[in-house]
Each structure stands twice: as C-alpha cells, then as structure tokens.
Amino acid sequence: MAGTGKVYLVGAGPGDCGLLTVKGFEKLKTADVVVYDRLINNELLSCCKKDCEKIFVGKESGYHPIEQEKITEILLKKSQGGYNVVRLKGGNPFIFGRGSEEAIELKKAGIDYEIIPGITSGLAAPIYSGIPITQRGLITQCVFVTAHECPGKPGTQVEWEKLAKLKNTSLIIYMGASRIATISEKLIEYGMDPSMPAAVVENGTLPKQRTITGRLDSIPEIFKKENFHAPAIIIISPAISLRDEISWFEKKPLLNKRIVITGEKTQQDKLYTELSELGAEVIRLPFIKTQIKNPCIDIQELFTKNNFEWILFTGENEVNSFFEILKGKKFDSRIFGNKKIASIGSATSKALETYGLTANYSRENSTSSSPTVNEFSNFNMNGYNLLWIKNFDEHQQVPVEFKSVEERIKTINVCEYLPDNPDSNVVADIEKNGADIFVFTTPASIVNFFNLFSHETVTKTINNAKVLVTNPAAASVLCYKNLKNIIVSSKQSAQGICEVINSLF
C-alpha cells in the first residue's frame, strides 16, 4: 500500500460491548489492522471488515507472551506499510494502561495517531454493581490507585499512609486481586477504620460479574472463600452501604448463564441482543450461511400460466432469496397478482412485510404439530395447486395445514445452507467451558455441529446442557443423535425464544 497509515489508540471499555464509544466503533469497523489485548470482548472483533488483520498481543499476570517493545514494533510496521491500525486496549488507554508510551513512540517515528478514550473499569464496575462512586453529603472525592506498579521501581509510589487517612473518599483500586490482604493490612495499619465498607467486583460489566462486600478487615477472607480472582476492582468507600438499594445489573434473570446460539451470523443479532439484555453470556456459533440458488425456471410463465392459488413461505431466508431472484429477473412483488400467501413463523411474516406483502394466512410459530387455530380450513383449496418456496434442506417438512393437498404442491428451491466456520477461539471456549443452553434453529446447524466437535466434546457439552430447537425437523435430527434435554420451542421470534429460555431457570 502506498503512503503511511494512521494509528488509533482506542479504549475498548470495561467489557460490555455496548460501552465502546461510537467513535471507537466507527474506527474499528474501517480498520485494516486491529492489535488487541487479552481483556477485549471478542464480540467487538466481529464488527471488523472481512479482510481486517487481527493481531492478539494479550498479557496476563505473570505471563507476558509479547513484550511492549514488540507491540510498538507491530504498530510501527503496520502503519508504515500504509495500513490504518486500531490499537484496541481494555478500559481507557491512558488510565493504568501503556497508551501514553505507545503514543510517544509513534510520535518519535513520525506516525500520525489519534487517541479515543474508553470507559475505565474503575468507573464502570462499581456502577454495574450498584455502588456510587460519589454521593452528596457522603462522598466528595474518589481516588484511582493501582496495586500493580512497574517492577523495576525501587519502592512503591502508592502512599497508603495518606490514603488511609482520607475522609469522605472512595478508593478505587485496580489490579489488586493478588494483594488484597496486604492492601487491607496496610490501610488498617495506617489508621483506616477496620469496619470501613469494602467491595470487590469481579469481571465487571460482563455477564459473569460477581460482587462481594464486607468490612475492610474481613474482605480478604471473603475474597478467598468465594474464590474470586482477577480481573477485579476493589472499592473501599462508605457508599458501598447503598448497594442493596441501587444494585441492578446482578438482578438480571439470565446473569451467569452461558447460551450458545447457532444458525446464520446475519440472523443472530436480534436474539443476541435480547438475551444479552436479560444478562446472559451469549456465544455466537455460526455454522451455516445461505447461498441463493437461482432455479432454472421462467418466473413470468410460472406465475401466469399455472393455476397457483396459494404461495407458501416457511422461512425468512426463503423469502429474501426469492425476492433477490425476482430482482435479478427484473420483477417485484406485483407479480403475485391475486395469489394468496401463506406464511409459517413470525420471522417469515416480518420478512414478507419488508416487501410490502401481508400473508392471507399466517401461523406465528413454525414448530407445532398442528395449527393452534384451524383457521386455514376457512380457505377453499379444492382443485387448486400450491407453490412452496423452499430450500434444499432434506429435513424440511410440509406444514401440517397443507398435508391434505400435499400431492398438489409444486416446490421451488431458492436457497441452500452451506457450512460456515466459527472462530477457532469460540470453538475452544465451548470445548473448555461448555454452556447452559444450546439453541439450534435448523437441522443443518446440528449436522455441522456434530461435524465440527468430537464425540467426546458433544457428550461433555450438550448432554450437560439444555438444547432448545425452534422447528420439529431439528428436533428429529437431535433425537436421532440420542441427545437428552431437548426442548422444542413453540415460538420462533427472538422475543419468544427468550421467554422460553427465561422460563427454564
């Protein structure tokens, strides 16, 4: 590439993807290269463009696989190669990070750069835990402290003696998980009241967030008993007493629940958002992608010379694929004329509505073995043929309402499901940590799941979890695989699936 690129030092926030700034998100979407740390939420990387190069330079306590000098070298090399680089750093790059060091080196090398602040965990974690950092009449100041200082310094720069004597103050302590007992002892030794309220927030703003509270002199023992670990923020403040009144995030119904959603990446967003709002840790596992298959038929002749009274759609993908084919052949929804439309599933009906069509007959769910209301009997199908717009899935079944006219159904396959490869880090995470619920929306997702994971992994993960499917064909495949704990959802919409999942806990 010609010329020199630019480096953006972007604060990724404390963990919750929604706390990334709008400006940071825009730079991430257009970056040629992203250089990211260990505590970055991997979901953020899904918004990068397809050809973006992602370079992991994570560090953790006691283990530094890539030295800071090497990280700086990567930034220089990539930007000097003409690439726009996002250096994605946890929290805020200028609060107990090394963003300023990187900026100085970029300046020395003559590289153009920009700094985009992020929300630091010391602000976000207490708030997500319901602990105010300041409070009128109670807390007039807050102090950010790091318990992990540069190892090359001759002594500590943290003046614990002075901090212990501060009044009306919230102490927010970063990177103190391994030194919590020492911190407590030092502050009490220098005069802080042993009964001062203290709290620790682990994995702040993430679905696996936990909080413990206690007296300053007892918090180290509680920390050990509850098996807390880094990343954690320690808060020492009289304002902790307000937590019981203010706490909100940890009251979400699906907090600390891991839910794997399969299917197509492009169709996971709404379900991902709704489950996340309920507090769940949602893991995307896209196993399939839709490919349009243009049938070798004359659309004009099909719709004008055949006596189709009804056009049946049984999936959102089929609707979108069919209209893409129409568009390519210079047709639109006017070709439907006086044909009646039947729709199975709420997502199918909504997809039709985007093309200006309302189904004459629709069924909210796509899973029941019989219609909840047999309203379809009101329509006279005697002597009429039906056109079913479908995909190539061999497991797809004729909806029960149309069984009586099955011999008069003509089918057009407009799309097929192809295997998609999930991110290897996501696969490794599921193999290691499993999940509480797996959601399958198509038989193809199930087949690809078994192709990707070993029999041992399947036994370990799925059989120890609940399995939710949203159509009967998928349930049949799972039964054939001898899986346990299968739940067939009568609802297909994201909201409906969330309601079913919420009822399981």
What is the SS3 assignment for 78? helix
Neighbour count for residue 252 (Cβ, 10 Å): 16
Rounded CA gap, 369 and 363, in Å?
12
One-character DSSP codes across 181-243: HHHHHHHHHTT--TT-EEEEEESTTSTT-EEEEEETTTHHHHHHHTT--SSEEEEE-GGGGGH
Sheet holding 169-174, edge to edge: 141-146, 169-174, 232-236, 197-202, 210-215
Rounded CA gap, 446 and 427, in Å?
15
Q: Which of 6, 54, 59, 329 is catalytic?
A: 59
37 classed as catalytic: yes
| Residue at token pair 């726009």 | 84
Rounded CA gap, 271 and 494, in Å?
5
One-character DSSP codes across 318-336: HHHHHHHHHHHTT--GGGG
The continuous run of DSSP H or E covering 312 comes out as strand 308-313
Residue type, 221: E
| Residue at token pair 């008993």 | 225
Strands 232-236 and 197-202: antiparallel
Rounded CA gap, 438 and 369, in Å?
22
**Cβ proximity of 236 and 213 under 8 Å:** no
Helix segments in 329-397, DSSP class H = 346-353
Q: Which of 16, 32, 37, 393 is catalytic?
A: 37
CA atoms in the 13 A half-sphere facing the CB of 256: 8
| Residue at token pair 């100041």 | 141
Two structure tokens written together for 27: 């730079």
Rounded CA gap, 196 and 19, in Å?
31
432 classed as catalytic: no
**Cβ proximity of 202 and 228 under 8 Å:** yes
Instruction: State the first-to-last Cα distance of the chain, in angstroms, to the nearest integer.
Output: 53
Rounded CA gap, 479 and 473, in Å?
10
Q: Which residue from 211, 218, 207 is spatially nearest to 279, judged by alpha carbons? A: 207
Two structure tokens written together for 152: 């090359």
| Residue at token pair 């043929």 | 385
Q: Which residue from 374, 372, 375, 367 is spatially nearest to 399, judged by alpha carbons? A: 367
Two structure tokens written together for 322: 């069919």
Q: DSSP assignment, residue 147?
A: S
User: 425 exposed, middle or buried (CB, 10 Å; 0-12, 13-18, 19+)?
Assistant: exposed
Kindly list the catalytic residues: 37, 59
